Amino acid sequence: MVHSPINNFTDCPTASIDLENVLRATNIISSAIDTDGLLRNIVKFIIETAGASTGAIIMDGMIQAEYVASPLCIQTKLNTPICNWRRGSVDVVNQVIRSKRTIVVSNAKEDSRTHQDPYVLRTCMKSILCMPVIHKDQIKAILYVENDLITDCFKSQQVDVLSILSTQMAISIDNSRYLQAQIKAAEDLTREVRMREQEQDYRRRQEEFIDRICHEIRNPLQGVLGNCDLMQSTIAQLQLSKDDSNTLNNCIESIRTCSEYQKVITDDVLTLSKLEFNQVTLYPEVMSPQTLVNHIVQMFEGEAIKKRLYTCIEVDNMPINLYVMCDYNRLSQVLINLVSNAIKFTSNGGITVECSAAPINGGGEMELCFSVKDTGIGVDRKDSDLIFDRFAQATQRVSSDYGGSGLGLFIGKNIVTLMKGEMKLSSKLGEGSTFSFSIPCKVASTQDVDKWLRAKDEHNKQNARTEEMSLKACQGNPLVLVVEDNKINQRVLVRMLLGAKCNCLVASNGAEGFEKFLENDLDLIFMDIAMPVMDGYECTRRIRQVEKQRGSKMVPIIGLSGNVRQEHHDAGVECGMNRYLVKPCTTKEMIQVV
């Protein structure tokens, strides 16, 4: 029952403390599990007990709750700084904070502590009670109550009851704060988990999108480059004049160059995606730094000759027959990007590639240093950092005049960083640039080098045997099944295989391919991966299952796909494919496989 706030204790000044009400109030206060509910319970109890007409609860220097007894109105979650409070005596509250003692003002206008208080003078307030709620010698809250109708409103009984309950209030405040902190922590964790899941889902969808785009670009390149091979072989068989033959071959080479460039851009986008998702893994292998540099320069000699540029290799302090453990493909990718850029941005002069090595860590490792110098357009100092950003080029004019995606240097620098190295640029506008980087590499052991040399020798012998065997196999007219949904690629692959004296069957999806396998004694299967009805993985699994049930020979299955990620290759091997060729594949690769 809610008593009149004025008549509760003031009508019974000699009343003793009602322990039953104290226990009831304790249960009510402790029953609240959140701060807002706790403040409301405390306010209701104060109104019943203290005979206050208005009041507030202060926590952490902020007004957290205000109330008016008649008619009852409780406001919580105010978070009003005490210095901005206009509905109570800030001076009295500050005195309580400093002293940690309860202040009872029976007649505010005559009390020396409040008679000059601006709030009291403004409102003609009669009685004020301000009590600290203390636990473990710390103020958890301050109870502020007042009455603007009568003096001497707050008797000792009300003060004693509030004092008795203040300990429970303090404990309840601590408990509610702890619970709120736990709830907030749980909500934050849930939000973080949800955001992480959303981020992972976004990354997965972005990765799938990039895979699809790369696949959709590479897939038609099979038709373009495959037809280039076929046209060149056809031209060689036709009795054309030298000029006509050269004209057609030049056109084909132009198509091939454009297609190869498109493939490079696609690979750069894929590498960028891997770098963004921290999915680039290094695969150290035995390699010769000098051999790598020679190979890279040889790759671009033809292009340099066309532009009448010289190419030069300078090797300094490089031990003879030095072999190190390094990711050959990734290091090649960095150097290819640098040399390609050097040739692209150089019109006169040439390119020099330098390579040196210095022992570190007691000789167990070598610091390989590479630099690519050109006499090209150079880079302004203010743009030297910009060009290492993704999609960036020095100026808009450079982008317009020379083209390019602006990914090469960004990818190269990140790969070098992944190798625990650093890439630098030294350049002067109009005079040329020097891109240099150094990476630490372990020196390959004698056993690893011997094993690698034997494997290399065996690989060369195998290639020679493959050429010989492919000719013999072609004479035997092997029956080859091409499972490919793209009609153009079907025709190109079949023409490649017919040129190798193969008999061909064609299926447009995995289901058709499986039926052709059941109906024919095949020598080889080329299996596309992404197809309607049934994909290449499932078709391969079913073929291997039937072969196991029959106890028959395993037909070699070669996967064909525009997807170049390692996981796609691994999935092909796992389902039973013997090899995995990335589109676009050349006629030579197809014949070698046969």
CA distance 70 to 4: 9
Q: Is a pLDDT exceeding 90 seen at residue 208? A: no
Distances (CA, A) of 264 to 33, 55, 217, 267, 418: 63, 75, 11, 5, 21
8: confidence class by pLDDT, cuts 50, 70, 90? very low
Strands, DSSP E only, in 40-91? Answer: 54-59, 62-68, 73-81
Domain ranges of the chain: 19-185, 206-276, 285-444, 476-593
Average confidence (pLDDT) over 215-232: 79
Domain 285-444 shares a fold with domain 476-593: no
CATH superfamily label, 476-593: Response regulator (3.40.50.2300)
- Structural tokens at position 486: 């793209």
pLDDT for the residue 537: 94
Q: Is a pLDDT exceeding 90 seen at residue 505? A: yes
Name the residue with tokens 């150079």.
378
Average confidence (pLDDT) over 194-222: 79
Question: What sign has the CA pseudo-torsion 455, 457, 459, 461?
Answer: negative
pTM above 0.85, yes or no: no
34: confidence class by pLDDT, cuts 50, 70, 90? low
CATH superfamily label, 285-444: Histidine kinase-like ATPase, C-terminal domain (3.30.565.10)
Which residues share a beta bridge with 480?
504, 524
- Structural tokens at position 466: 């493959």
More confident residue, 111 or 76: 111
Least confident of 188-202, 391-405, 473-487: 391-405
pLDDT for the residue 33: 63
Give the list of residues 6+ apart from residue 154 with CB closer than 8 angstroms, or none: 50, 51, 52, 104, 106, 127, 129, 145, 147
Strands, DSSP E only, in 157-257? Answer: none
Domain 19-185, classified CATH 3.40.50.1010, yes or no: no
Q: Is a pLDDT exceeding 70 seen at residue 469? A: no
The overall average pLDDT reported for the chain is 82
361: confidence class by pLDDT, cuts 50, 70, 90? confident
CA distance 521 to 517: 7
pLDDT for the residue 390: 65
Q: Is a pLDDT exceeding 90 seen at residue 243? A: no
- Structural tokens at position 569: 């290759």
Least confident of 360-369, 430-439, 562-571: 562-571
Q: pLDDT exceeding 90 applies to what percent of the chain?
A: 24
Element (H, E) at 368: strand 365-374
Maximum distance among all Cα pairs of the chain, rounded to whole angstroms: 129
Q: Give the highest mean pLDDT range of 234-248, 455-469, 471-485.
A: 234-248
pLDDT digits (tens, 9 = 90+) for 265-286: 777 777 777 777 777 888 899 9
More confident residue, 302 or 424: 424
15: confidence class by pLDDT, cuts 50, 70, 90? very low
Query: DSSP secondary structure string, 379-399?
Result: --GGGTTGGGSTT--S-HHHH
528: confidence class by pLDDT, cuts 50, 70, 90? very high
Q: In terms of DSSP H, where are the helices of 51-99? A: 90-99
Q: Is a pLDDT exceeding 90 seen at residue 509? A: yes
584: confidence class by pLDDT, cuts 50, 70, 90? confident
